[in-house]
Structure formats: structure tokens, C-alpha cells
Structure 1
Amino acid sequence: MTTASDGTDVEAFDEGSGPIILVVPPGMDDGSGYARVAATLADRFRVLRLRRRQYRLDLPAPVTIADEVRDIEALVRAVDEQMLLVGHSSGAVVALEALVAMPHAFIGAVLYEPPVVTDLPLGEPGAEAATRAAVDAGKPGAALAIFLRDVVRIPAAAAWLTRAALPFMPKYKALVPRQIDDLSSLIALGDRRDAYRGIATPVLLLGGGKSPSHLAARLDALQEILPHCSRAVMPSQGHTANTQGVDELAKIIARYAETRD
């Protein structure tokens, strides 16, 4: 679709017409995770779904958050129009960095549970090393289970059920090493709250009522320092609202986009 400043091809799904919404998807996403949300929005908006560099297997690893911000910068230049920025999970951290780097590019942002580093560490002690060791040993299922249990902090039984199912989901199995790279990039970024204090763009912080409690605590930390933010909760959703709460999430994004016109 366009080219980043370092020469990397940038790809995005482009659907609908109207005011522009740019979506930065969550981890373990090959570009399809926001397809149904985008389809719901596309009758009123032009929706660009970034294929995150972190999860493109045609590109070399590792990938930094700065690399992914370069991709957003390239899309902003190519479109040459202000847009609403939507980020989910680690994609919402990338979106926060884009808001710092391009303060005039966006009319607003909707951020779903960004796992920002705060006084809370990102994961249990040793989680990053354990997931990396499992990947290096050729055990992606174990790596994902450790990540889900010790970083996302879902119940251990659910994490290990996902491990058992992974051999039957080859698309996601291939993305596990990139998820661990994504975790490392978030940890390497560190606590960026001082930079985020200067974000003047209006931001809607969005969370799920059934999500792990540390994600709400990270939203609390952001709400304390973002100068122009509001907060909303999807009571019946967890961290995967983009697939489990499609219609509700699309309505929230659309309403916020309309308030920014």
C-alpha cells in the first residue's frame, strides 16, 4: 500500500468509504482479528486495518515498536487526512507511541486495554525468559501457555487448554514466536507515562469487565496522566472484545468517531 521510511512495504486492509479509522490490531493477529468490526463500520467509514509488521511472517524479526510506528507514519502520509486511531492490546501501545510521534495526525483515539508498563511489571518475574526459552526449544504451545498464564494472567487451566488446541491452529502456532517478540518489545519500551502526559489528542480508554484486573489497573494509570481522556467499560467482555463483542465494540468506535467530527 505504501513504504515506511526504512524501505519496508506497509500493508493494510482498506474497506468502506467516509471518515477514516485506522486500526492497529492486538497480538497474535495476522490482520484478520478486526475483520468483522471493520465490516460493521465500513458502511459509514473508511477503515484501514494495519497488517502489523510484528506479525508479518514475510518480514524479518525482531521488530520494535518504533518500527511499527514508522508503518503508521507511512499510512498517515499516504492518506494525507486526519483520522481516528484505534488500538487493541499491544496494538494500543503502538497507537500511544504514534500519538506521541504524530500529535496532529489524529482526531482522536480509542485504546482497548493497552498493556503499558507502569509500576506494575508486565508479567510475573521470569515470564519473558521462560517464554523465550520455550520458543527456542521449539515448544510454541508451552510458550503461549506461559504467556497467557503469567503475562495476560488468564487462569492456568484456560492457558493450558489453549496449548492443547494450538496444534490444530497452524496459523496461530506460526505467530507464537512473534507474540513473544511483541512481549519483549513492550518490556524494552518500558514506562512511557512521562511521554504520554503530553498527548493532547482526545483518547477513549476502553476495557472489558471480565478482563484480568491488571489491565484495568493499567487503564487507571493512563487515566491519571492523559490530559484529554474518557473511560468506558464493556461489562460482558474480556480482552478479546474484537472477536466476542463485535457489534458493541463497533458501536462504541463509531459513536466516538462521530463525536470527533
Structure 2
Amino acid sequence: MVRSVVFDVGETLLDDTREWARWADWLAVPHHTFSAVLGAVTAQGRNNAETFQYFRPGFDLARERQLREEAGFGELIGDVDLYPDVRPGLSALREAGLWVGIAGNQTSRAAELLEGLGLAVDAIATSGQWGVAKPDPAFFARVLELAPGRPEEIVYVGDHRDNDVVPAKSAGLRTVLIRRGPWGYLWADDPVVRESADWIINDLTELPDLLISSGN
């Protein structure tokens, strides 16, 4: 039985295109150049934050994020950034009687912006608020505190093999990989994902029927 579904944010609920473009602009790097380097880092299975080091060695992401905010060029999250299936997918899960949450590697400011979207969710939390980030097991311990149910009654949905599927599975949760964004496409057929993910989906609106048919 599934009682709760918890979602990653970037490239699961949000299309990160606009945010990556804003980082490229901040660094005065052409968008396609930034994307190409990000893709290379991704393909090597490395943390995407390492992308910045190629353009500015010693780049301090937290400091630069603060400078962006001070310059009036900070984070933006709006309806335009949501994938089209997000609102109907979340609403359908709620209508099916499931508790729905969001927990991802984002800033405290991102949590505020997500709250402002009025999504059909019961709770929103970020690594910035918790002080611990994926794939740290402590992050998923917080997920288990946040969502109702035993670990096997909680589903974690994300696009990333190493940050979402593998550590969530290790924490005892059931897992879903969504095939979108660079990581979702890159790893959808990866043997580790195939072993660790309970489901691999293309669209969030697939989830209600999948979870109901699994015995929810």
C-alpha cells in the first residue's frame, strides 16, 4: 500500500531551462556553451555544480547565488517553469487519497517560491531549509519524518539516478524515475536504475493508476 508520494524538484516538477540560462548570463557565457559543458559533466556522472568551475575556477555557488539576489537577478520560479503534467498529476494523486509532498535540493528561497505556486501538495521542504542535501542518507531520513507512512508506503519520484533513485531505495522507500531532463533520459535504461526503481515513467499523470494498481 502506498500512502505518500514525495517529489524531487528540478527536472521532475520544474523545467530548469530558464534557471540554467540565467546562470549562463550571470557568467557571461553563451547558453549553448554552458549547456554543452553541463551535459559533459552530467554524462560523467558528476555533480552538476562542477560545471561552474570550468568557467570560473574557485566558483563559490552559495556566494554567487547571494550576489545574484542582491543584484536583482535571483531565483525565479513561476508557472512557466512547471512541466505541463505537474498540476494535473499532483491533483490526481490528491484526489486518489494520497499525501503529496515536495522535497528537493533547493534553497530556502526556492521553497518560498514553490509555496507561492499554490500546488496541490501537503508539504514543501528543501535542502536549504533542512541543512542537508541529497544523496546524504540524512536527507531521506527527513523525508521519512515528513511523509506519513512506513518507508515502504512512501514513494519518492525523481529524475536522477544517484541523487534520487539509489539513495531513496537505500532508505527503504519505493522509487520512481521520470524520464525527462538530461539525467532522466541519460539513466532511464541504466542497469542500476532498472534494479533500483520500482517504476520508470514518462509523465506524472501515469502515477495514480500505477500506484492504485500496485495495491494502494
TM-score category, normalised to shorter length: 0.3 to 0.5
- Superposition TM-score, scaled by structure 1 size: 0.30
What TM-score comes out, normalization by structure 2 length? 0.35
